[in-house]
Amino acid sequence: GAVVSQHPSRVICKSGTSVKIECRSLDFQATTMFWYRQFPKQSLMLMATSNEGSKATYEQGVEKDKFLINHASLTLSTLTVTSAHPEDSSFYICSAISTGTGELFFGEGSRLTVL
Amino acid sequence: GESVGLHLPTLSVQEGDNSIINCAYSNSASDYFIWYKQESGKGPQFIIDIRSNMDKRQGQRVTVLLNKTVKHLSLQIAATQPGDSAVYFCAENISGGALTFGSGTRLQVQP
């Protein structure tokens, strides 16, 4: 079946550094991918919609200069958390829509811990 | 970071009993609804979906009911098993758009 892979699954970084998280659709093409953030004991909150070949659309309150999204190919979207701070520690989850079937698939998430 | 004091509502059931998890959605224009199961440290796992032109859909051991009048969605799990223990989220969207997730319910199955 279709799989969405996220890498890394866990990352620990120092405050002030930048971290890149990859989201790949392994056996389908995805024009559109979504990035969510989930704090402990909370629901998934949409951060941005990533569109291949164009700029991402950010939700209100999400800083586009802090959370850089690049969707340079039909199978890869990246989220870069720039100048990370402890409050950015969270579970980041991506999802991808299959261009062929319209089905939506979720990745397994990436846990970021900023010290 | 973590919000102190936030707790997910919890439903505790005995193994073998039926479980009913409820969700109120917000957007009357939503036309597609999905239930997800999320285990600790993992991404959401699709359980069952339903479109707004239906009011009931059945899967294996699961049934989703949709009441558009009161904007209410429920997930029924038959013969609940310990492996069903997880957090369950409802999600809604307007065709092709991003999903909006509900707040979630933790299901605890007592053996």
Q: If DSSP codes are grouped into helix, strand and coil, which group holds residue A41?
A: coil
Per-residue pLDDT band at B7 (split at 50, 70, 90): low
Residues B30-60: pLDDT tens digits?
A: 999 999 999 999 999 999 999 999 999 999 9
**Planar angle of CA A25, A87, B46, nearest 5 degrees:** 35
pLDDT higher than 60, residue B6: no
SS (H, E, C) chain B: CCCCCCCCCEEEEECCCCEEEEEECCCCCCCEEEEEEECCCCCCEEEEEEECCCCEEECCCEEEEEECCCCEEEEEECCCCHHHCEEEEEEEECCCCCCEECCCEEEEEEC
Tell me, what's the pLDDT at A1? 60
Is residue A89 less than 8 Å (CB to CB) from chain B? yes
At A62 the pLDDT is 97
For chain B, say whether A111 makes contact (Cβ under 8 Å). yes
Give the pLDDT band of residue A81 (cuts 50, 70, 90): very high
**Residue B2, burial from CB neighbour count under 10 angstroms (0-12, 13-18, 19+):** exposed
- Tens-place pLDDT, residues B71-102: 999 999 999 999 999 999 999 998 768 999 99
Taking only residues 5 to 24 of chain A, the set having a beta carbon closer than 8 angstroms to any beta carbon of chain B reads: 6
- Residues of chain B in contact with residue A89, where contact means CB-CB under 8 angstroms, are 1
Which tens digits make up the pLDDT trace of A36-62?
999 999 999 999 999 998 999 999 999
Contact of B49 with chain A, judged by CB distance below 8 Å, is answered with no
Q: Judge whether A6 and A110 are in contact, CB under 8 Å.
A: yes
* Chain mean pLDDT for chain A: 95
* A90: nearest CA partner in chain B: B1
Residues 33-62 of A with CB under 8 A from B: 34, 36, 39-46, 49
- Closest Cβ opposite residue A43 in set B42, B96, B101: B101
- Residue B2, pLDDT score: 35
* Residue B26: predicted pLDDT: 86
Residues of A within 8 A of B100 (CB-CB) are 46
Strands (E), chain A: 4-7, 10-13, 19-25, 32-38, 45-51, 57-58, 67-73, 76-81, 90-97, 104-106, 110-114
Cα distance between residue A2 and residue A6, in whole Å: 13
